Amino acid sequence: MNANILVLPGDGIGPEVTAAAVSVLRAIAKRYGHDFHFEEKLIGGAAIDATGEPLPQATLDAARRADAVLLGAVGGPKWSDPKAKVRPEQGLLAIRKALGLYANLRPVTPHPATLGASPIKPHLLNGVDLMVVRELTGGIYFGDKTRDADTASDLCRYSAAEIERVVRRACTLARARRGKVTSVDKANVLETSRLWRETTERVVREEFPDIELEHQLVDSMAMHLLAKPREYDVIVTENMFGDILTDEASMLAGSLGLLPSASLGDDRVGIYEPIHGSAPDIAGKGIANPFATILSAAMLLRHSLGLEREATCIEQAVGKALDAGVLTADLAPAGRGVRTADATRAVLEQLEADC
Footprint on this chain of ligand ATP (rule: CB under 6 A): 13, 17, 73, 75, 256-257, 276-279, 281-282, 288-289, 292, 328, 330
Minimum CB distance to ligand ATP smaller for 19 or for 256: 256
d(CA 173, CA 267): 16
Residues 6+ apart with CB under 8 A from 128: 108, 109, 110, 229, 230, 252
d(CA 346, CA 299): 19
d(CA 1, CA 149): 58
Closest approach, Cβ 163 to Mg ion, in A, equals: 26
267 appears as a binding residue in the annotation: no
268 appears as a binding residue in the annotation: no
Q: Which one from 210, 247, 266, 323 is the annotated catalytic residue?
A: 247
d(CA 66, CA 256): 27
Burial bucket for residue 173 (CB in 10 Å: 0-12, 13-18, 19+): buried
Specify the amino acid at residue 208: F
Minimum CB distance to Mg ion smaller for 56 or for 88: 88
Interaction partner, residue 273 (Mg ion, ligand ATP, none; CB < 5-8 Å by kind) = none
Closest approach, Cβ 285 to ligand ATP, in A, equals: 10
Q: Which one from 219, 267, 323, 354 is the annotated catalytic residue?
A: 219
Closest approach, Cβ 222 to ligand ATP, in A, equals: 19
Minimum CB distance to Mg ion smaller for 62 or for 259: 259
Helix (H) / strand (E) containing 291: helix 291-303
Give the footprint of Mg ion on this chain (CB under 5 A).
277
Question: What SS3 class is residue 348?
Answer: helix
Closest approach, Cβ 108 to ligand ATP, in A, equals: 16
- Whether 141 sits among the annotated catalytic residues: the reply is yes
Q: Which one from 129, 154, 243, 342 is the annotated catalytic residue?
A: 243
| C-beta separation of 176 from 306 below 8 A | no
83 appears as a binding residue in the annotation: yes
Phi, psi of 63 (to 5 degrees): -65, -40
- What DSSP designation does 328 have? B
Residue whose beta carbon is closest to ligand ATP:
277
145 appears as a binding residue in the annotation: no
d(CA 200, CA 224): 21
- Whether 247 sits among the annotated catalytic residues: the reply is yes
128 appears as a binding residue in the annotation: no
| C-beta separation of 54 from 86 below 8 A | yes
Closest approach, Cβ 247 to Mg ion, in A, equals: 7
d(CA 172, CA 204): 10
Interaction partner, residue 289 (ligand ATP, Mg ion, none; CB < 5-8 Å by kind) = ligand ATP
Q: Which residues are annotated as a binding site?
A: 76-89, 96, 106, 134, 219, 243, 247, 277-289
Q: Which residues are annotated as a binding site for Mg(2+)?
A: 219, 243, 247
Catalytic residues: 141, 186, 219, 243, 247
